[in-house]
Structure 1
Amino acid sequence: MPSPRLLLIEHEASLREVLGACLGELGDWDVTTSRFIQEGILLCKKHRPDVILVDASTPEADALLLMEQLKRDSLNQAIPIVLISAKADWFTAPELHQMGFLGAISKPFNPSTLSAKIHHMMAYSASTS
């Protein structure tokens, strides 16, 4: 059975590398990485990931517009989006869902449970739809 595909959008190189390794090596995901949301939108169309993990903070000037475009495109392709942010605890699950996200993961994160959290969110979402 092939590994599930995950698109990781993270602007910070060292964190992108750590997240990619955690998810790829510890979580058996097939990880595609992107530095920018705009690039992630193009990669999303090309690689058709099973889930997108995106850092909520980005240096892109038009980040909010790009995030909306990513959500629109992922919705059209039925790809759930998970936020990763130091501010993830600011939102409840219903608020995240209302904003168009599957869920959120807090930074700092536990590398050994990161993959399981994403799988759990996806399984819970599938069981409630």
Structure 2
Amino acid sequence: MSVLEVAMNTKLVLLVDNEANVREIVQACLQDLGGWDVHSVASTQEGLDKAVAVQPDAIVLDISMLEIDGLTFLQKLRANPVTQLIPVVLLTAKARWFNQHQLQSFGVAGAIAKPFNPISLTHEITNALGW
């Protein structure tokens, strides 16, 4: 595969999590193991703004956020024509709270539980998104 083909296949992922240490670990995993370009933000408002600005291939979202909770974030994301089709994967300690029907009703591709396995995280996200 040529450098151009690799560059064209690189995914852009937006990571939205208010915990700095989690953002650092997830970003390292997705960049180093997945080869993805990762933009990381600490708040859901930053996430909404960044999603409009960069239109990522996917968003990895912690549902338990401070100023705007993850469900409100999803509603706002889906209400904006620019961001409504961006797939979302939840990365949250509350992953087991959601069944597949609930995830689909929120427009979420999948949910991964915290704590997560850093080695398999990229694979789990890839599977959830069907990449």
TM-score normalised by structure 1 residue count: 0.86
Pairing partner for 1:104 from 104, 108, 111: 111
Pairing partner for 2:31 from 24, 29, 37: 24
Task: Please tell me the residue identity of whatever aligns with 2:98.
Answer: F
**Partners of 2:72 and 2:129 in 1: CA distance:** 25
Alignment RMSD: 1.8
Task: Please tell me the residue identity of whatever aligns with 1:25.
Answer: D
**Partners of 2:20 and 2:75 in 1: CA distance:** 23
TM-score normalised by structure 2 residue count: 0.85
Alignment coverage as a number of residue pairs: 123
C-alpha distance after superposition, 1:45-68 (max 9, x if no partner): 1111110001111111x4243342
**Partners of 2:50 and 2:81 in 1: CA distance:** 11
Aligned pairs for 1:28-107 within 5 A: 28-60=35-67, 62-63=68-69, 64-73=71-80, 76-107=83-114
Shift of 1:72: 2.8
Moved segments of 4+, more than 3 Å = 64-67, 73-77
Specify the alignment match of 1:121 in structure 2.
128
SS of aligned partner of 2:80? helix
**Partners of 2:17 and 2:73 in 1: CA distance:** 14
Shift of 1:76: 4.5
**Partners of 2:106 and 2:82 in 1: CA distance:** 12
**Partners of 1:74 and 1:39 in 2: CA distance:** 18
Specify the alignment match of 1:127 in structure 2.
none
1:22–1:112 Cα contact (<8 Å) kept: yes
Runs of 5+ in structure 1 lacking a partner?
125-129
Shift of 1:114: 0.5
2:74–2:106 Cα contact (<8 Å) kept: no
Runs of 5+ in structure 2 lacking a partner?
1-5
**Partners of 1:94 and 1:74 in 2: CA distance:** 23
